[in-house]
Structure 1
Amino acid sequence: MIGPPAQAGAHGATAPKKVGILLVAFGSSEASAQVSFDNIDRAVRQAYPQVPVRWAYTSHIIRAKLADQGKVLDSPAMALARLHDEKFTHVAVQSLHTIAGEEYHELRRIVGGFQAMALFEKIVMGHPLMATQADMEAVVDTILANLPQARRADEGVVFMGHGTHHPADAGYAALMYRLQLKDPQIFVGTVEGYPDVELILGQLKQRKINKVYLMPFMSVAGDHAKNDMAGSEDDSWVSIFTGAGIQCVPILKGTAEYDGFVKIWVAHAGEALKALH
């Protein structure tokens, strides 16, 4: 986007205002996960058609796997360096993470480094999916609007989040609490945080639920969804629940495939763009 001149450079030279959006995800090497990223990309470009969009993945492991496949994805630092090289003066960095956890705060540190170097006139970060109480309400509404249509009232729905050792992990338990105020048969567990699968299993047994739908609460239905949730290994959630006599129906669809969740990220990107002016 070209606008009024902006100050740039040590000698007081001016450069035309050029605004860009950098979308930053953890990333995935699963080809099937691309549908989620495509959905977000399309929604952001439709909402802000005059603003160029770039992408970066925070996961070094994912970027290395993709590089082996001949697909090169930038790290956030490299993407920002490229934007500077392309003469962008104002950048909205939109996190596509679910919570403000470890990955999100690492991204904040990188953005803070670019702020300190003053390579851009202004650089602003957008919130992840669940950053405010209003976000949480929107997430709850979106979940309730997209529950499996075949599900009966006595059947459970279990969402699998990633989880983290960061204090933001508390958001998953808070989400489950708010969901269960509306529907006590909905559960939210995590792979690497709290609530864990054993706690969820205990609740399912306590409520005598003998059938559940398993759904990822991650932007993409990638490795965690396919293996940790729906895989055939003994420690997958399907295996654990089935072993306890609970019938499982996995649904491999990431949150970024649902327009209701994507709208939240798009709105946060819009807030970041407004803050640039």
Structure 2
Amino acid sequence: MNSETREDTPPSRSVMGQGSVFARKFPLLTRSVPILLWALGLEALFVSVRHLVTGNAMGQDSHAYWLAAQGELSYGASPGQRDAYLYSPAFAAVIRPLALLPWPLFCAAWFAIEAAALAWLVRPLRPRWAIPVYLLCLPELVVGNIYILLAAAAVVGMRRPAAWSFAVLTKVTTGVGLLWFAARGEWKRLLQGVGATALIVVVSCAVDPTAWSDWIQFLLANRSGTPDSGVSFVVRCLVAVALIVIAARKQWPCLVAPAMVLASPVLVSVVPWTILIAIPRLLMDGSTHRERQELLA
């Protein structure tokens, strides 16, 4: 065995390798998956079109971000209310230059940003997989939330831990992926992620300490206000932590995405499941070159 082969082969069989074995043993079942994806993708397309036709505006979630970044932050609206802003002051500060645009242009720009991120996430897949998977994400593109961006942050965060600050400072518990580095004993990389987040908080808090105080009070006041009850949310988060630990020990980065879904504050619709779009690129991170080719075939 030459040195190139040794470097390309991970110490343990990856999830993608197991998937390749499964595909060879059950070719009929494997070939049926794209058919199912196309069916679900077309259904997602129908739901998205119906959402727009029935009068629900494009970007109903991103409209809250636009309003929040317009001026002084307010955390007066409860989660679930129209235009309720739930994220940290740092997020509002980052998008403030974009929020200077009129609402229609901001909405179009937000759609373009998420669409571009989605195209990057599905790029490793062949068209027969990529197109239906893209269609499955249309509901998220229509409402304009941040789940596609969270998926992108998860992929980037496996190599650049600072990217996890995006998850922590928006949908706080989806930052559970940072525990990947703790479970693997990669303390330097964990420190990079935590340190980047802390630096953003310190700088942002120095600019507007009142907004940060309001956000923390808002989180504490609504800690049990998840739509599926506080108890189930805690259980979901504990399962997510366990999943991250298992993934880190087994070198299965693809499990980071479902762990983030489980830790999502809201899990009562199909939209949060959009985070799973990170799986193709996460699989590539834990595979050999040959296994990547098998996945993309």
From the two aligned structures, give the one with the greater helix fraction: 2
Q: 1 or 2 for the larger relative contact order (CA 8 Å, sep ≥6)?
A: 2
Instruction: Indicate the TM-score class for this superposition, using the shorter chain for normalisation.
Output: under 0.3
Instruction: Give the TM-score, by structure 2 length.
Output: 0.22
